[in-house]
Chains A and B, each alone.
Chain A
Amino acid sequence: MSQMPPTYMRCFQVNPADNVATALDDLASGQVEVLGAAARSVVVATEDILLGHKIALRRTEEGEAIVKFGVPIGIATTAIEPGAWVHLHNCRSQVDERSSHLDLKTGAALDTAYA
């Protein structure tokens, strides 16, 4: 597999109120086309974001809601800059406390003893 960054990268915004979009390709730093609700706009990715993961579309302050589908899907646990990856390291569930204790990359539970 080539390690060249893709030349054309896309993400999908479901609702105009959303402050995140979902990556339709594996994203690297650079221009990403935003499809869906705000079709034809562009956001600049500032880090690698895997397909299916979320990219911030605008600055979000700590304690503000992360909005997708037009509804809060979590709370920002730190300030998030546009183009950043939004996941377990900077967003927590409003109901499921356990999901804040999972491995960031694999989602594996870190709170279960195996010995």
Chain B
Amino acid sequence: MRETANISLADRAWNGYLRSDGRKGIRNLILVIYTVECASFVAHAVAAGEEDVHVIGFSGCYDNAYAIRLMLALATHPNVGGCLAIGLGCEYTQPAKLAEVAEQSGRPSDWFYIQNEGGTRTGTARGKDALKGLRGRMDAEAQVVPMGWSDLVVGAECGGSDGTSGLAGNPVVGRFYDFLVDRGGSAIFEEVVEMIGLREILLSRAASPEVAAELDATYRKAEDYCKAVRQYSVSPGNFAGGLTSIEEKSMGAFAKSGSRAIQGVLRVSQPVPKPGLWLLDSVPDNHFMQFGYTNPNDTEGIMDLISCGAQIVLFVTGRGSVIGSPVAPLIKVTGNSRTFDRMRDDMDFNAGTILEGSKTLDEAASELMEMVGDVASGTPSKPEALGHREYFVMYKHQDTPELAAGCRA
């Protein structure tokens, strides 16, 4: 079953913003980044009331390689056209360096230390001035070009799952992923700890023997992680709700990967190397401080997907959720019609129609594709329109050279 919906949907095109690395954005945002918790108030004051300005930041004073890579990946994300980095003045993470990398990528950028500007009021005024300057340059330099499915990278994650997530919410995303990949687009799925029990099934989806070896190593690390923390990613509420084993929960989560071949494993902040379906490994690498935490909350996983260049993220939630995301619009999908009706202001897509029998999986996936096309064309998703911009940048250890131990690594 390789046929996509109708021709007009398959050939849909819209305008995007061309970036120097060839990627295209569906928004032209300014990203304000603060480099320590002490600068967060001023950063949010600068962004207040500015529709095209989103905020992220790192709260730690001691820097961390993983967090810096994540912030750089977001500063140079296709949906971001300009960057303003704000520091307090005594932290390890350097706002000047963040602005420099963003500027070198062709994005108008600026930075300052609050201590040098005088404080909250003068710092906020300095930031507001900077936004005007950046916007002027962005308007002058913007390259608006046509884009379509093959230019799109979409991420998917699930959270607040219930019995419908594995039956409808995740499968509809998986079917849409098949359509997207068949149109030359890119799709990323994650949550390796929720693939435990599916090793053979996961490996059988590899595009090549090399990819199978990569998937195997990623799977083994997640399994080691679960053994080390003595816990699988399944909770009493899952069992009470009818899930009997981690394998069952894993299959429900894995359904959002669809059925196409997996091209390889991405690490956090690594851009998608070529179109197709990719697995994102967000599990921390083993380290002298032990693993640390993997997915402390839904927002962390969504940030990881955006760091790999996803211009849109699909969030499957059976029970419902009220989060959004900075940089890339979040589209909230539920397989539970009752949740959709109860949380209509927050939920974008109802896949419960599949369980009721009023829509086939293919029909629902085509409708979801239509909605993704609308959001890519500029229609705000529900959380985007509500102003939800939740973010989370944490200390983590990934791709850490063996001798570079310490909290910086």
Task: Report A3-36 residues with CB < 8 Å from chain B CB.
Answer: 12, 14, 22-24, 35-36
Q: Which of A39, A50, A87 contacts B244 (CB 8 A)?
A: A87
Q: Which of A39, A86, A102 contacts B239 (CB 8 A)?
A: A102
Is B163 an interface position by the 8 A CB rule?
yes
Interfacial chain B residues near A109, Cβ < 8 Å = 236
Instruction: Select from chain A the residue with minimum beta-carbon distance to B227.
Output: A95
The interface size of chain A toward B, counting residues with CB under 8 Å, comes to 37
Given A68, A98, A106, which contacts B251 in the complex, CB threshold below 8 Å? A68
Q: Which residues of A contact B7 (CB under 8 A)?
A: none
B167 and A93 form a contact (CB under 8 A): no
Question: B196 to A107, Cβ gap below 8 A?
Answer: no
Asked if A88 lies at the interface with its beta carbon under 8 angstroms from chain B, I say yes
The answer to whether A93 touches B198 (Cβ under 8 A) is no
Which residues of the partner chain B approach A66 to less than 8 Å between Cβ atoms? 244
Give the residue of B245, B252, B355 whose beta carbon is less than 8 angstroms from that of A91.
B245
Would you give the shortest CB distance from A45 to chain B, in whole angstroms?
14
Docked-complex contact A52 and B197, CB < 8 angstroms: no
Q: Which of A23, A35, A69, A74 has the most CB of B within 10 A?
A: A69
Q: Are A74 and B355 in contact (CB under 8 A)?
A: no
Per the bound structure, the CA–CA distance linking A45 and B197 in Å amounts to 29
Q: Is the CB of B163 within 8 A of A52?
A: yes
- In the bound complex, how far is the Cα of B163 from the Cα of A22, in angstroms? 8
Cβ of B357 within 8 Å of any chain A Cβ, yes or no, is yes
Inter-subunit contact B355/A24 (CB<8 Å): yes
Q: Is A94 an interface residue (CB 8 A)?
A: yes
In the complex the two chains form, is B196's CB within 8 Å of A95's CB?
yes
Is there a chain A Cβ closer than 8 Å to B166's Cβ?
yes
The interface size of chain B toward A, counting residues with CB under 8 Å, comes to: 30
Asked whether B209 is an interface residue with its Cβ less than 8 Å from the other chain, the reply is no
Contact (Cβ within 8 A) A39 B198:
no
**C-alpha spacing A73/B248, complex, angstroms:** 5
Cα distance A26–B303 when bound, in Å? 37
B238 touches A107 (CB 8 A): yes
Whether A69 lies near B251 (C-beta < 8 A) is yes
With a cutoff of 8 Å between Cβ atoms, the chain A residues found around residue B157 in the complex are none
- Kindly list chain B residues whose C-beta atoms are within 8 Å of the C-beta of A71: 198, 201, 247, 251
Nearest-Cβ distance from residue B28 to partner chain A, whole angstroms: 41
Q: Known: A52-B241, A99-B234. Is A93-B246 also a contact (CB below 8 A)?
A: yes
Q: How far is the CA of A65 from the CA of B246 in the complex (A)?
A: 15
Contact B247 A73 (CB under 8 A): yes
By a CB distance below 8 angstroms, the chain A residues around B238 are: 107
From A14, A24, A53, A74, contact of B245 by CB (8 A): A74
- B162 lies within 8 A of chain A by Cβ: yes
Q: What residue of chain A has the Cβ atom nearest to residue B164's Cβ?
A: A52
A91–B163 Cα gap in the complex (Å)?
18
Q: How far is A96 from B231 in the complex, measured between Cα atoms in Å?
A: 9
Quick check: B167 and A92 within 8 Å, CB to CB?
no
With contacts A52-B241, A71-B201 taken as known, whether A102 is within 8 angstroms of B236 at the C-beta atoms is yes
A71-B198, A93-B197 known; A23+B242 contact, CB < 8 A = yes
Interface residues of B (CB under 8 A from A): 162-163, 166-167, 171, 196-198, 201, 232, 234-248, 251-252, 255, 355, 357
What residues make up the interface of A, taking CB atoms closer than 8 Å to B? Answer: 12, 14, 22-24, 35-36, 39, 50-54, 66, 68-69, 71-74, 86-88, 91-96, 98-99, 102, 105-109
- Sample (19) of A-B pairs whose CB atoms are under 8 Å apart: A35-B355, A35-B357, A52-B241, A53-B163, A66-B244, A73-B197, A73-B245, A74-B248, A87-B239, A93-B197, A93-B244, A96-B197, A96-B234, A96-B245, A99-B232, A102-B239, A106-B240, A107-B239, A107-B240
